[in-house]
Amino acid sequence: MTIESLSPQISWGTKISSIIPKQVLSIYVASSKSTIIDLTSHHTGLPRHDRAYHETEPH
């Protein structure tokens, strides 16, 4: 058995709910129907988190 056979097949059209079964977005419909392309193109309504990338830098 290889790692590839154990890992899920993920594509741009993969629904987030199939990877993370728990509801991640505040709206159920958005959480159940959003795909990876929706997340990467900022179509889900999630806010920006620019400061999250620079936690070690003073604000």
Domain edges within the chain? 12-44
Residue with tokens 């604000």: 59
**Rounded Cα distance, 31 and 20, in Å:** 10
Q: Are 44 and 25 within 8 A, CB to CB?
A: yes
pLDDT score for 52: 58
Strand partners, 15: 35
Measured distance CA(57)–CA(59) in Å, rounded: 6
The pLDDT of residue 14 is: 87
Burial (CB count within 10 angstroms: exposed 0-12, middle 13-18, buried 19+), residue 16: buried
Residues 8-58: tens digit of each pLDDT: 688 888 888 888 777 666 666 666 788 888 878 777 666 666 665 555 655
Residue 45: its pLDDT value, please? 67
